[in-house]
Structures are given as C-alpha cells and as structure tokens.
Amino acid sequence: MTSTFPDISISTERLVLRPFEEADVPALAEMMTDELVTAWTALPHPYTPDDAHAWATGKAAAVRTEGRGIALAVTEFLTQRLVGTVRLDHTDWRTRSTEVACVTAPWARGEGYASESVLALAQWLFRDQKFERLELRTAADNTASQQVAQKVGCISEGVLRNAWIARSRTEDGGWTDIRTDLIVWSLLPEDLDGLPGRTADANGFAYPEWN
C-alpha cells in the first residue's frame, strides 16, 4: 500500500504554505513564464494558463495522493498573494527520504521566501513525519538555488556530472537546451540544530532571521 503525506497547510511568521486553489491560476501562469524559471526548471515551455489550471486543480494534488510527495502554494500571510511554490517529490517511504524543489515568483525575490518555505517544510517533515533525509539538487550555475540550500543548513555531498538539461537564451530570442552538472545537497534532522539566528514561532517552528 502506498504511503501518502497528509493534506496540510504550514504557517510561518510571513508565509502560508497550502494546497493550490483555482484562484492561484493567473499568478501561477505568470510566475512560471518568468525567464529564470524557464531557464532552470523542466516545466513546459511555453507555460500556458491551461498548464497552470491543470496543475492548480488536479496535478498538484495528485503528487500527494499518488504517494510521490506534496506540492504547496507559497503565499504571503498578510496579503494572501502567491509568491512561490515548494514541492517534495521522489519520496522513498522505506528510507524516509525525499527531494525538495522550490520556485519564487519574480515579484517576490530578494525577500528570503524560498529559504523560509523550504525550512518550514523541512521542520514539518522531520518533526511530524519522522523523515530522516531531505535532498536538494541545484544546477551548477544556479547560484540562487545554491544560496537557498546553504541558508537552510544543507550539506553539499557532491556533483552529478552532466545530469541536467537547463535552457539558455539564443541570439534570436529563443531558447536552446544546455547540459549542466547538478550539485547534490542534503539536510538531516540534526543539521537544523546548529542553524544560527533561529527564532521560534507560536507553533514551535524555528526559523533563521532572514536579512
């Protein structure tokens, strides 16, 4: 029998991580057509409103119900504005390990939202779900994702050579596929203990104080 994560929402001081809703479709479609998202993800290109609708109204929920992981919208607590996505996938229920990926909307970059959402999900995963390993893979040239991994306390374990296909702009304004290495990062429950500048919220979660 396939194991599944519960249908949950997670709150931090600034964010709410919750299941996707149909109302997220316009912002999701805009977010996923951003150039940096196109360059570093394997999303369809072009990413259409129909793609966003299919994800928000069914495909995101299927990640959980099929036992692969969980996919959550990241929204601002005060405004309810969609500012990103965070996802667990490739979950191994026997070893209690899974892989995390996140996207930040272009209108919300520079706020530390990616690190905050990944850390909140990691805390929940280790504390409530008793998982033992969280993995993050970043393209070798994607410095923003590497900074997220470092901020949440991940340890770099090595490089998977030539393991990813990113996209690069061509001279005529189109896109071309380029092969790149992947850096493998891991986070274990004990890695969170030494994270500096941690402050706890009312739910017992502890977060770094983001600059």
Digitized pLDDT (tens) for each residue of the chain, 211 residues in all: 469 999 999 999 999 999 999 999 999 999 999 999 999 999 998 999 999 999 999 999 999 999 999 999 999 999 999 999 999 999 999 999 999 999 999 999 999 999 999 999 999 999 999 999 999 999 999 999 999 999 999 999 999 999 999 999 999 989 999 999 999 999 999 999 865 444 434 334 444 433 2
- Confidence (pLDDT) at 209: 36
- Confidence (pLDDT) at 203: 39
- Confidence (pLDDT) at 173: 86
Q: Whole-prediction pTM value?
A: 0.89
- Confidence (pLDDT) at 207: 41
What Cα–Cα distance (Å) separates residue 158 from each residue in 179, 182, 184, 188? 17, 9, 6, 16
Measured distance CA(147)–CA(10) in Å, rounded: 23
Which domains occur in the chain, in start order? 10-195 (3.40.630.30)
**DSSP state string for the chain:** ---------EE-SSEEEE---GGGHHHHHHHHTSHHHHHHS---SSPPHHHHHHIIIIIHHHHHHTTS-EEEEEEETTT--EEEEEEEEEEETTTTEEEEEEEE-GGGTTSSHHHHHHHHHHHHHHHTS---EEEEEEETT-HHHHHHHHHTT-EEEEEEEEEEEEEEE-TTS-EEEEEEEEEEEEE-GGGGTT-SSEEE-TTS-EEE---
- Confidence (pLDDT) at 2: 63
